[in-house]
Amino acid sequence: MTALVRKAMLLAVGGILVASAAMAAVPSPGNSTLPGAAGPGASGHIDLVGWDGVAADPTPGTSAAAKSLITMTVRDLANNAIAGALVVFYFQPCKGSGGQEDVVIADVQPDPGVTAVCTDSTIRAVTDGAGQISIRIVGSAHNVGGGLSTGAGYLCGIVYADGVDLGRVTVGCYDQNGAAGTNPSDVSSVQSAALQSPGPGDFGRCDFDGNSSVNPTDTSQIQSVSLQGLSSQSGSPCY
């Protein structure tokens, strides 16, 4: 084998290794697990909460899909966890039929490492050494019609990691109107929506158990949050 051929082979192998390493760092929608999802590659569910002036409400919900802690894992094509990946929750598509904002994130997020970017309606966080984020997001809906104002449907939120679209999440909001946190008015709005579902009140903002419907379970969950009093304040909205 001539020196020229050996050099060519080494360059080819080196190129394959570099390409493999580059692909290994690319997030995979099929291997990554969204918050509230049944498994890798499935759609997910998150809940936005109020806060008490110090911390985001840590206790909403009773089912795994409905807890306020938003946990997800980013993995590559080889199913390896990706540390240091930038995860972006994009809420711009969460609008009513008239184009009005229906899901509104707070401009200040109390959880460490969580950043709101109001100009593009995103929440951003970076994965840890295990390729995970575990965060809470303060925000609200813009439900000012007693439960029946036009809103976004299910799976309106988009989740990206390092620019790769990982999939969609339904966005529930325990603070339905962005006023005084979660209170009996919010409970009443969700109750009205549940009575009209499927129908005029069937919007993702009222779905807290992640089953793509509004029902008595959702009413029970928001009532529990209201009584706990840990979502006593609304966040300052990103408008």
Residue 10: inside a domain, yes or no?
no
Residue 42: inside a domain, yes or no?
yes
Residue 116: inside a domain, yes or no?
yes
Residue 106: inside a domain, yes or no?
yes
Each residue's pLDDT tens digit, 123-135: 999 999 999 999 9
Q: Report phi then psi at 160, rounded to 5.
A: -120, 150
- 93: which 2 tokens? 């598509």
The structure's pTM equals: 0.87
Residue 18: inside a domain, yes or no?
no
Each residue's pLDDT tens digit, 32-50: 999 999 999 999 999 999 9
- Average pLDDT of the residues of the chain: 86
The parent domain of residue 192 ranges over: 26-228
When divided into structural domains, the chain yields a total of 1
Residue 200: inside a domain, yes or no?
yes
**Cα dist from 140 to 31, 76, 136, 137, 156, whole Å:** 30, 32, 13, 10, 14
Residue 170: inside a domain, yes or no?
yes
Q: Stretch 143-162: mean pLDDT, rounded?
A: 85
Residue 107: inside a domain, yes or no?
yes
pLDDT of 14 above 60: no
Q: Stretch 211-235: mean pLDDT, rounded?
A: 92
